[in-house]
Structure 1
Amino acid sequence: MDTGRANGRVPGLGDHLGAAQPEADDLAARLLRAALGGRDRGRISLVGLCKNAGKTVTLNRLIRAAAAQGLALGLLSTGRDGEAVDAVTELPKPPIWVPEGALVATAAAALKPEEGAALERGERGEIGALDGRGARDRIGVRDRDRAGEAERARVRVLRETGITTPLGPVVIGRVERAGEVLLVGPGSAARIAALLDALEEAGARVCLVDGSLDRRAAAAPAVTGQAILAAGAAYSASLESTVAQVRYLLELFDLPEAPPEVQERVSESPPAVFLLPPEGPPVPVPVASALSDPGAVAEAAAGAPAGSVLCLRGALTDGLLLALLARRCAHVPILVPDATHVLVDRTAWRRWRRQGGQVWVERRIVIAAVTTNPYSPVGPGYDAAAFCARVAEVAGRPVVDLVAGIAHNLP
């Protein structure tokens, strides 16, 4: 497997242009079927273990697979994806390629031929077709179309959504000419859900949401129901450290749902932090959040009746776990909305688990599969086969290298 950067090439950059190996195409099709559970419709988030984990290459391969199967595709991002150079790391990134007929939800400015251009409208007030380039200049990134490297997608805007981003309002559009596209979307889970609804109303049957390390909320079950995790050598120079982080994240996503008798007693609009005793109504903990005063939360948990559950509407952090451990409260189960609310490092988590601590979720997030990328743009990479095999040992689900054409546990 070529993991070099000859001539500035990002491995996988040519995938969207038809350079994919047949076996890799077959793996992508099987991965898509597995993630959809054999259905021909669904919502899937893609989240990365870190930046440069191979998430965009995974997205492009899934787009290619969906197009080959004739599935009506909808695409959106929980931030900004598809730029030529990462806005944070300044490293080159693979573009996002979209086929003709696909639907996209993105900021109108990302589709305009020039910065600041108003939405073009045709006769009778209909929104006209916009050429998908120009927003790269807005964010200080070179427009590859102007350099002649690749053709930008042409997208006809179908309607506005009323949802805004830093690059302006989000629109729903249909791709009239295949090519590269810049996806810009909101970070709010509720707004992402609204855009998914809009894409499906426009005809999309398979919706792919491009998330990132800081946007794991895109994998929340209320939004997509399931996700694919991209793991890459960019996380660490140590293969074992990267595998350990994959194992940890999957452990979080696999947290069990709370028992039905607990779920039934949780109010839809509870306080930020409350204790659920074995009998009687919930008991609010008088803090703005668990983050603001973890000591007070631990104090309340220590004094709660045996069999109580500590319920959080916000994040579970290191500070709260350590405060609970200091008060010997590992016997008190913690309930959070879903795994994206667990923001704890591995060390604190292991201490909690070693002392018998439990964490339950109201809704499980399904990580359908893991993709591996042995290449790192910031340091040494790994052997592709060894990395994929090692992740498969801890994942307990399909693990695929879509560039090298390697798969484990894939139906």
Structure 2
Amino acid sequence: MKLFDLIYPHYKTVSLIGMAKNAGKTMVLNHIIEEAIENNVKIGLTSTGRDGEREDIVTKTEKPTIYVERGTIIATAKDLLLKCEAKVEILEVTPYTTSLGEVIIGKVRSCGLIQLAGPDVNAYMKDVANKMLSYGAAIVLIDGAIDRKSVASPWIADAAILSTGAVISRNVEVVKNETIHQVELFQLEEVKCENLKKVAAEIYERKGYAIVDKNGSVEELSIKTALNSGTIIGSAINGDSKFVILSGSLVERVITHIMDVCPYYKNVTFIVQDSTKIFIDRRSWRAFKGRGIKVKVLHPIKILAVTTNPYAPEGYFFEPQGFLQHMRQALSPISVIDVKLEE
């Protein structure tokens, strides 16, 4: 099945996440745009970083440009709107600002190249995506910037596409394992108990932390800063504790401190809002799992597909078809697609 067929008409908002710079994310974006044009589907486009410029402002390397047809809805910063070669009708000036000016929603009136830079706050991005849908976009594509995987949150996007590639490592096994790790995090098991989900949602609303015991009793913890949160949480866990609800990010330091002070950590399941809140590398994650750490999510992330880019900007590459098949075997049953081979 083609990548576009996995998206339309099943999902309204889809985020594109790169494992690293030059993983082929913008190439995937352009492929979806072309497929949408062929299928006469109106799309909306925005980005959590800056995309569409000819040269990366940090690395000074050439970047893929973004070409759009008439009717496309875009959300971009004012300064970049002035740089767009496409003619854009302004539909709305939003109250959200970036370093490049206010985020403006517009409709493309004549085809051409565009540059994108949308809001970098999750709540603002969700609102902008909804606005683009209200202006007639059948699908909104959100191009996620490097290290901003929060755009994959199910609170913002219905589904996500993950781009991986040779840029991660010259060793194909490292690329495979790092990608498996990210997919595993995105696909963490969802909390099933409705009462527990309700309690967790209330705790997250207050940006709090809590421990739920075997009888369902809830003890909220007073945590003012993340600096010593692991020690506070670990000290509060006892033999009757069953779940630990964590607001904010789950990082290696927090888990390590919990294990250092708590003999009961294997008896509890840690609950995070969604897996974009987890920042633990592959080796540490494996070590924690091996020592009995269990994590579930309140909101799961739907991974539509993983895309592969066999070429690295440093000049080395993997044989495209072989790399694709290798990743398909490793990630089955998830769809793995090389958009260039698909073309």
SS state of the match for residue 368, structure 1?
strand
**Pick from 149, 153, 168: which aligns with 2:101?**
168
Label 1:285 to 1:233 Cα distance change in 2 as closer, same or farther (>3 A).
same
Map residues 154-233 of structure 1 onto 2, 5 A cutoff: 154-233=87-166
Give the CA deviation at 1:225.
Answer: 1.7
- 1:128 is aligned to none
Q: Are the counterparts in 1 of residues 13 and 158 from structure 2 also a CA contact under 8 Å?
A: yes
Tell me, yes or no, if structure 1 residue 71 matches structure 2 residue 41.
yes
Give the CA deviation at 1:399.
Answer: 0.6
Q: Are the counterparts in 2 of residues 298 and 320 from structure 1 also a CA contact under 8 Å?
A: no
Separation (CA, whole Å) in 2 of partners of 1:153 and 1:292: 51
Label 1:222 to 1:203 Cα distance change in 2 as closer, same or farther (>3 A).
same
Tell me, yes or no, if structure 1 residue 55 matches structure 2 residue 25.
yes
Label 1:377 to 1:271 Cα distance change in 2 as closer, same or farther (>3 A).
closer
SS state of the match for residue 74, structure 1?
strand
Residues 172-206 of structure 1: per-residue CA shift (max 9 Å, x gap): 11111111100011111100111011101111111
Q: TM-score, normalised by structure 1?
A: 0.78
Tell me, yes or no, if structure 1 residue 358 matches structure 2 residue 294.
yes
Residues 302-342 of structure 1: per-residue CA shift (max 9 Å, x gap): xx343421111100001122223333413211000001001
Separation (CA, whole Å) in 2 of partners of 1:267 and 1:72: 35
CA RMSD of aligned residues (A): 1.7
SS state of the match for residue 404, structure 1?
helix
Deviates more, 1:166-175 or 1:264-273: 264-273
Tell me, yes or no, if structure 1 residue 369 matches structure 2 residue 305.
yes
Q: Are the counterparts in 2 of residues 234 and 379 from structure 1 also a CA contact under 8 Å?
A: no
Residues 133-186 of structure 1: per-residue CA shift (max 9 Å, x gap): xxxxxxxxxxxxxxxxxxx21111112111111111111111111111000111
Q: Are the counterparts in 2 of residues 75 and 103 from structure 1 also a CA contact under 8 Å?
A: yes
User: Which amino acid in the other structure matches residue 244 of structure 2?
Assistant: L
Label 1:332 to 1:290 Cα distance change in 2 as closer, same or farther (>3 A).
farther
Percent identity over the alignment? 31
Structure 2: state its 5+ residue gaps: none
- 2:314 is aligned to 378
User: Which amino acid in the other structure matches residue 307 of structure 2?
Assistant: T
Label 1:238 to 1:200 Cα distance change in 2 as closer, same or farther (>3 A).
same
Map residues 303-382 of structure 1 onto 2, 5 A cutoff: 304-326=238-260, 327-328=262-263, 329-382=265-318
Separation (CA, whole Å) in 1 of partners of 2:226 and 2:266: 16
Residues 204-224 of structure 1: per-residue CA shift (max 9 Å, x gap): 111100002211111110111
Separation (CA, whole Å) in 2 of partners of 1:288 and 1:389: 48
Residues 270-298 of structure 1: per-residue CA shift (max 9 Å, x gap): 45322122235421222224454322222
SS state of the match for residue 52, structure 1?
coil
Q: Are the counterparts in 1 of residues 13 and 139 from structure 2 also a CA contact under 8 Å?
A: yes
Map residues 235-274 of structure 1 onto 2, 5 A cutoff: 235-260=168-193, 261-268=195-202, 269-274=205-210
Separation (CA, whole Å) in 2 of partners of 1:84 and 1:267: 43
Aligned length: 337
User: Which amino acid in the other structure matches residue 223 of structure 2?
Assistant: V
- 1:35 is aligned to 7
- 1:399 is aligned to 336
Q: TM-score, normalised by structure 2?
A: 0.93
SS state of the match for residue 372, structure 1?
strand
Separation (CA, whole Å) in 2 of partners of 1:74 and 1:267: 30
- 1:297 is aligned to 233
Separation (CA, whole Å) in 1 of partners of 2:82 and 2:125: 22
Structure 1: state its 5+ residue gaps: 1-26, 114-131, 133-151, 407-411
Residues 13-52 of structure 1: per-residue CA shift (max 9 Å, x gap): xxxxxxxxxxxxxx7xx2112134x53x511100001000
SS state of the match for residue 23, structure 2?
coil
Separation (CA, whole Å) in 2 of partners of 1:221 and 1:86: 29
User: Which amino acid in the other structure matches residue 137 of structure 2?
Assistant: A
Q: Are the counterparts in 1 of residues 47 and 145 from structure 2 also a CA contact under 8 Å?
A: no
Separation (CA, whole Å) in 2 of partners of 1:81 and 1:399: 24
Q: Are the counterparts in 2 of residues 291 and 317 from structure 1 also a CA contact under 8 Å?
A: no
Separation (CA, whole Å) in 1 of partners of 2:132 and 2:219: 41
Larger Rg: 1
SS state of the match for residue 192, structure 1?
helix
SS state of the match for residue 330, structure 1?
helix
